[in-house]
């Protein structure tokens, strides 16, 4: 269990930080970029929880579960994989749960005929923002896997990929089951005197 008694340590004042295995790396390392962006995504999901809490309590409850899972993802990415370890790692069951929830929510939505513009209701807008941050976290985790293939768990990447899909689907649910989605109209503003 985590126990924080002191918030600042001054140990990072030189631009380094400690990983989950006790080693120290630059705060600009790909590993820190990846799990730091997962933390940013988690904060964005916190805003989505607030935006959805009153009108979409079931989505808000699922998002709180996902916030816990994202701490698992962060812990996984924060700790380089070592042979015969006993560490907290993301497992396939967490990704499977996301897939089941995507299927359940998507089953009530009409198929799309165009891309959805981020926005609509406040909850949907917050979910779209979280989705784009999760996509960035996924790209950074893929970059980390390419740089350190033997020290990075691929299951975290699968989880992030599925999470962005989940956030897209529930953003549509938060937009009155897709009725409030604003769809992209290709080239819609070309003839309105704007920049060409």
Question: Token pair for residue 137?
Answer: 């976290």
DSSP assignment of 96-126 equals HHHHHHHHHHHTTSPPPSSPEES-SSHHHHH
Which pLDDT tens digit goes with each residue over 44-71? 999 999 999 877 889 999 999 999 999 9
Question: Token pair for residue 143?
Answer: 């970059």
Which pLDDT tens digit goes with each residue over 13-29? 667 676 677 778 667 78
DSSP assignment of 40-94 equals HHHHHHHHHHHHHTTT-HHHHHHHHHHHHHHHHHHHHHHS---TT-------HHH
Q: Is the dihedral of CA 184, 189, 195, 196 positive or negative?
A: positive
Domains in the chain, CATH or no CATH each: 26-80+90-179 (1.20.1200.10)
Does the pTM surpass 0.85? The reply is: yes
Mean pLDDT of 87-109: 94
The alpha carbons of the chain give a radius of gyration, in whole angstroms, of 19
Per-residue model confidence (pLDDT) at position 189: 83
Mean pLDDT computed over every residue of the chain: 89
């Amino acid at each position: 269990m985590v126990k924080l008694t002191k918030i600042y340590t001054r140990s990072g004042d030189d631009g380094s930080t400690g990983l989950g295995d006790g080693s120290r790396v630059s705060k600009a390392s790909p590993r820190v970029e990846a799990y730091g962006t997962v933390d940013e995504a988690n904060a964005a999901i916190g805003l989505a929880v607030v935006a959805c809490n009153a009108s979409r309590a079931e989505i808000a409850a699922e998002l709180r579960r996902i916030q816990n899972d994202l701490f698992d993802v962060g812990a996984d990415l924060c700790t380089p994989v070592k042979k015969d370890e006993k560490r907290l790692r993301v497992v396939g069951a967490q990704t499977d749960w996301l897939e089941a929830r995507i299927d359940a929510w998507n089953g009530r939505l009409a198929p799309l005929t165009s891309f959805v513009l981020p926005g609509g209701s406040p909850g949907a807008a917050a979910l779209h923002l979280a989705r784009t941050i999760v996509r960035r976290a996924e790209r950074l985790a893929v970059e980390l896997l390419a740089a350190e293939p033997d020290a990075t768990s691929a299951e975290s990447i699968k989880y992030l990929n599925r999470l962005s899909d989940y956030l897209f689907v529930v953003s549509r649910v938060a937009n009155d089951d897709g009725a409030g989605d604003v769809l992209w109209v290709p080239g819609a503003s070309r003839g309105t005197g704007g920049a060409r």
